């Protein structure tokens, strides 16, 4: 019996990868993918996909806030 490998939505991963800086991208995407697999195993693929998208959407305000803050700090200096 083959074991199905659960993969997060590619569009959501791409969106996060484009918005995050290169140092935060790899650990965050890896942690989210690991958690996604756990949620998929426990609750199913459909629930895991909606969970992943919620996590991406909840992360966007902080990503934009940090980007704006550090851009302003660099401009100030």
What's the pLDDT tens digit per position in 11-59?
999 988 888 876 677 788 889 999 999 999 999 999 999 999 999 999 8
36: its two tokens: 């996604």
pLDDT at 72: 67
The more confidently predicted of residues 26 and 68 is 26
pLDDT at 51: 95
What DSSP string describes 11-58? Answer: HHHHHHHHHS-HHHHHHHHHHHHHHHHHHHHHH-HHHHHHHHHHHHHH
pLDDT at 55: 93
Q: How many CB atoms lie within 10 A of CB 15?
A: 17
């Amino acid at each position: 019996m083959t074991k199905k490998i659960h993969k997060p939505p590619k569009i959501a991963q791409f969106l996060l990868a484009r918005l995050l800086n290169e140092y935060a991208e790899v650990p965050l995407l890896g942690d989210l993918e690991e958690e996604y697999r756990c949620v998929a195993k426990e609750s199913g693929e459909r629930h895991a996909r909606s969970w992943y998208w919620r996590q991406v959407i909840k992360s966007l305000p902080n990503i934009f806030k940090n980007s704006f803050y550090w851009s302003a700090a660099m401009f100030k200096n």
